[in-house]
Structure 1
Amino acid sequence: MEAVHAIFYKSNGRLNLFGMIVAGIVLFIIAHLIVGSVSRFVANYVERHEIKNPKNMNQRRVKTITNILGNLAKYGVYLIALMIFFDLCRINTSTILATAGIGSIAIAMGAQVMIRDLITGFFIIFDDQYRVGEYVELAGESGYVEALNIRTTVLKDFDGSRHIIPNSEIRMVTNRARGAKRAKVVVPVNKNEDPDQVIAAFKEAVKKIKEIYPDSRTEIWGTTDFIPGGYEITAIAWGEPSLKFDMEYDLRKCLIQAMNEHNIQMPSVRYENAQKEVANG
């Protein structure tokens, strides 16, 4: 027994370097297991709560709340594990903080920022300003919410870049994932084409959008502007926010098919001007 004790402890009864390393590894493993168990418990609890309240049930909201509570548990458990490690190593944390001088001020300022991030994060969650998976604009950046953490919000934009934004820096939120969203396509038409016939052809064409997206609705706004050599007709489709770009692609495809079917011409002026620009370099 004394031989085993000597492996981990010095003669003065304190942990030696090997003992500290072993203690740190054991505490980390225990903390990691506890964090995993707590995270699973939180996920199951939140999911059951949402199911009992169908009006509030939303997978994105469940995922967002689970992330926040899971992170809270993670930081709390690891902090407790760290304090236990200091105690095992007989490190007086109060003495360290008292003698840190300017370092303690820096720590206090850092803690203040963390608290602001935490409080802002809670208001974001409880006010349901945005959820994981929604497309938003925050602090000058835009993208899909990939993660809403205890201190930060992570956005992923269209080119795959990730923007990590401290919650305390979020002053205004533009959520583009709530309510019906508009897909808009503007079609240039040759001036010699009869507007009534073109509009009738387009109205018939956009009926396909309703077949593809049952919850959508379409509109043809008619002639919305004059352009050199013709005029513009605007087509609109309203639908789920997540389907906006898909609806726009399909709406444009339907209109192109209608133009080919009815031999509707586009203004030749644009093509001629483009040729001149290419020729002039």
Structure 2
Amino acid sequence: MRFQFLAIASSMAIAVVSVPKATAQIPVLPQLLPSPSSVSNDANNRLVTGWIYLDGRRLFQIAASRSNFPERSEDIQKKLERIAQNYFQSPPNTAVNVNIPKVNQLPVIYVNGQYLMTVTSEDAKLREVDTWTSANQIAESLQEDLQQAKQERQTQFLIDQGKIAAGIGLVMMLMSLGVYSWQQRSKKDLVHSIASQPNIGPLNSQVSPAAAQPIATQLNQQQQRHLQEVKRRLFQLSQAGIWGGGSFFILGLFPYTRPFQVIILNAVQFPLRLGVVFLGTYVAIRLIYALIDRFTTTLISSGALLTPESSERLRLRVSTFSGVTKSIATGICVGVGFLLALVSLGIDIVPLLAGASLVGVAVSLASQNLIKDAINGFLIILEDQYALGDVINVGDVGGLVENLNLRMTQLRDSEGRLITIPNSEIKVVANLSSRWSRADLTIPIAYQADVEKALKLIENIGFEMDKDPRWERQILEPPQVLGIDQFGDRGLIIRVWIKTQPLKQWDVAREYRRRLKVALDQAGISISVPQQAIWVNDEQLLNFQSNGSNSKAN
């Protein structure tokens, strides 16, 4: 178990470490991220801000009105590219000459004698300085970045960066192979763990903590599947992080490919955020499933809840509790993930939550039946009125409980129909399989039969069946022959009770009837059929029959 969680943590670490870091050759990653344009709240002076780039690296920020910003930004960007190309074609030791003359009381920036831009008061407000200070800051940034960009285009620099790129590619391959081998070893460990679990055969009649083994084994297998799914997704994320992060890192090594970083970030910014939220929600759900199974397995393995009467019942309660808890956890995780997705898209969720609270109050008032369903469903599960796998009767319907949640209960009747009952409609429920069941048999014996012999035979059949290895676990107590229950039109009605495991009363009753029929036939005791005796008290009819008999005699 420790190795599994260590593998998960390590996979997450690999995915995080594979993201490129800031180096001397690569601009800082936050500087590459295109920030959304900020719009002022003043309706009379709506300003939009944006960045000017050189080789995919942010240089300085400008501001303009919403209508003028696209034209101004494109114009400055084209002029900077033309100035940079001319400078790159100059001799290697050529310096960058930046002049800032005053035109119409505003500083104007010239680079190597070519006009670049006019620094406006809106540009200065972004840096919270005056226009001349802002112009000097832009000039310093231009001078340093242009010199660095020219140096990065030198042959020796490109060769050095190519060596670094080759080394990064080799590291990526080794890390990918390491993650792949780790994934394969994890799969083998899982298969070995499942194969090493003991096979569950027929259990002994005496219930012990080993009786919980089928439940614990099933929960362990579910837990292994959930953890394996989490690790599989994290391994996939690690591979994507290795190759995606390494490729992104390599793009930042060369000035010719660095602009593609901005393009990629612009294209995948929102999908990447949504993907991280979706993957985090999915992994959280799977981990919660594994923790629920782990907790339930520990509880069962301790034997604290195991008694001879509750071993089978425990299995039903565990499946019900686990299913309902997982559904609640899934709903919570999906809700939190949805809110995080809205936050990642830049949507303010505070007004949304306030509106949702008001909508929730209105919905709660309009859907009182749903609230009643949830409350009654919670009480049904808490009080263990019935669980998944029980056979119950609710009013005029009944069947096997196939689905149970806080809102409804679904039954499958003997004809295969699926019956859905809202939990609030369940007032009185008859559970036919809670903790133990009983086969209630009525056996008709002819009036002419030897009663003592029949009772002894019926009792012996029950004892023999109780000692049979095939049926002894299903029969909890020796069968009780209650005696003659009534005198019926079919003969003497003898009643027999057999206490069985839950849902086994019908199997036991069928086998008991079969054995009893064979034994009664061998003993010459007949099972009575409906019969009637007619007594005639009419004196005229009797006299007529008597006279007719005398006439025939004469």
Going from structure 1 to structure 2, the CA distance change for 1:89 and 1:116 (only over 3 Å counts) comes to farther
Going from structure 1 to structure 2, the CA distance change for 1:104 and 1:232 (only over 3 Å counts) comes to closer
Alignment partners' CA distance in 1, 2:479 and 2:347:
70
**1:30 maps to which residue?**
280
Alignment partners' CA distance in 2, 1:84 and 1:147:
31
Q: 2:504 matched to 1:254? A: no
Going from structure 1 to structure 2, the CA distance change for 1:115 and 1:5 (only over 3 Å counts) comes to farther
Alignment partners' CA distance in 2, 1:229 and 1:112:
54
Q: 2:443 matched to 1:187? A: yes
Q: 2:149 matched to 1:149? A: no
**2:339 maps to which residue?**
83
- Residue from 464, 479, 496 that aligns with 1:208: 464
Give the CA deviation at 1:248: 0.8
**Correspondences of 1:57-68 after superposition (within 5 Å):** 58-68=314-324
| Deviation readout 1:64-97 (Å, 9 max, x if unpaired) | 2222221221001100111122333455666678
| Deviation readout 1:162-195 (Å, 9 max, x if unpaired) | 3344434433333222354321222333333222
Scaled by the length of structure 1, the TM-score of the pair is: 0.74
- Residue from 426, 432, 435 that aligns with 1:176: 432
**Correspondences of 1:105-124 after superposition (within 5 Å):** 107-109=363-365, 113-124=369-380
Alignment partners' CA distance in 2, 1:55 and 1:6:
57
**1:158 maps to which residue?**
414
**1:198 maps to which residue?**
454
**Equivalent pair of 2:484/2:494 in contact (CA under 8 Å):** yes
Alignment partners' CA distance in 2, 1:158 and 1:72:
31
Going from structure 1 to structure 2, the CA distance change for 1:218 and 1:163 (only over 3 Å counts) comes to same
| Deviation readout 1:76-128 (Å, 9 max, x if unpaired) | 1100111122333455666678889x977763446755554444333333323
Name which structure has the greater RCO, CA cutoff 8 Å, separation 6+.
Answer: 1
Amino acid at match of 1:187: I
| SS of structure 1 residue aligned to 2:286 | helix
Q: 2:484 matched to 1:223? A: yes
Q: How many pairs are equivalent?
A: 260
Alignment partners' CA distance in 2, 1:154 and 1:116:
17
Q: 2:525 matched to 1:264? A: yes
Amino acid at match of 1:7: A
Alignment partners' CA distance in 2, 1:78 and 1:147:
22
Give the CA deviation at 1:45: 1.5
| SS of structure 2 residue aligned to 1:132 | coil
Alignment partners' CA distance in 2, 1:161 and 1:99:
42
Unaligned runs of 5+ in 1: 10-14, 271-281
- Residue from 383, 390, 393 that aligns with 1:134: 390
Unaligned runs of 5+ in 2: 1-260, 532-554
Q: 2:267 matched to 1:7? A: yes
Amino acid at match of 1:87: V
**1:279 maps to which residue?**
none
| SS of structure 1 residue aligned to 2:467 | helix
**Equivalent pair of 2:411/2:420 in contact (CA under 8 Å):** yes
Going from structure 1 to structure 2, the CA distance change for 1:248 and 1:81 (only over 3 Å counts) comes to same
Alignment partners' CA distance in 2, 1:53 and 1:201:
41
Alignment partners' CA distance in 1, 2:479 and 2:459:
9
Bigger mean CA deviation after superposition, 147-156 or 59-68: 147-156
Alignment partners' CA distance in 1, 2:324 and 2:496:
42
Alignment partners' CA distance in 1, 2:421 and 2:340:
32
Larger radius of gyration: 2
CA RMSD between the two structures: 3.5
Alignment partners' CA distance in 1, 2:490 and 2:409:
49
Q: 2:311 matched to 1:51? A: no
- Residue from 283, 289, 301 that aligns with 1:39: 289
Amino acid at match of 1:144: L
Alignment partners' CA distance in 2, 1:38 and 1:211:
45
Amino acid at match of 1:220: V
Going from structure 1 to structure 2, the CA distance change for 1:148 and 1:198 (only over 3 Å counts) comes to same
**Equivalent pair of 1:199/1:222 in contact (CA under 8 Å):** yes
Alignment partners' CA distance in 1, 2:485 and 2:498:
16
Alignment partners' CA distance in 1, 2:369 and 2:339:
22
Alignment partners' CA distance in 2, 1:218 and 1:104:
57
Alignment partners' CA distance in 2, 1:99 and 1:80:
17
Alignment partners' CA distance in 2, 1:191 and 1:163:
45
Alignment partners' CA distance in 1, 2:384 and 2:324:
13
**1:278 maps to which residue?**
none
**Equivalent pair of 1:237/1:251 in contact (CA under 8 Å):** no
